[in-house]
Copies of this chain bind each other. A is one copy, B any other.
């Protein structure tokens, strides 16, 4: 019954403080994260956010709708879901930025490992890892099958884009589970070891493996540190 009264604010004329006034509370950015993949229903969100508590999710959703970051998909009916507005979608880049930091942080620390792993998180991680500056002259696509989630990365004209669903003619198809995938992203699992042990299976053009790893910034250490980007070294697989 409070509505918008008593909102806690940093009360600073600062762009960052304004942002945190809106999306800085607990769970809020994770709700946005879920909606980045498309509209979701209340119960879908509840299931994707273990531990949030029903009242808190309802409160967050109401606040976000009120702030103009979300809209109900069907304003009248109660059966509809929620989707991001343009303003809400503009959090995509900041979320990717924070994700990059999250990967960098996790790379240097011990992970709880009791954490729940979902394949849909992997899409976000791939988006965060891909860097257009490392596309070089590549023009191909890589398909990922993390658990039962399928998506792919299209690299074309110096730009890499992550898209849901299978690829047309991927030069590489990577299959793994969500847990192994994140261990790779956090540099706590060496890609070569993962391939050998079978935690990750790669099918396609052998040289594409190297190119894909470089695009994701997880070249297995030895790696070329020179910025000369000749078309891939010989891949010893």
Q: Interface on A for B, CB 8 Å cutoff?
A: 9-20, 22-26, 29-30, 33, 38-39, 50-51, 67-68, 83, 86-87, 89-106, 108-109, 111-112, 114-118, 121, 124-125, 128, 178-179, 182, 185, 226, 228-229, 231, 233, 236-237
Contact = CB atoms under 8 A, between A and B. Distances in A.
B229 A117 contact: no
A178 B20 CA distance: 20
Given A90-B104, A97-B97, A17 B38 contact: no
Contacts of A117: 12-13
Contact of A24 (B29, B38, B91): B29
Contacts of A93: 97, 100, 231
B90 A11 contact: no
Contact of A15 (B99, B118, B178): B99
The interface centre, meaning the residue of A15, A33, A99 with most chain B CB atoms within 10 A of its CB, is A15
Contacts of A12: 30, 50, 115-118, 121
Given A15-B125, A16-B29, A233 B87 contact: no
A37 to B, nearest CB: 9
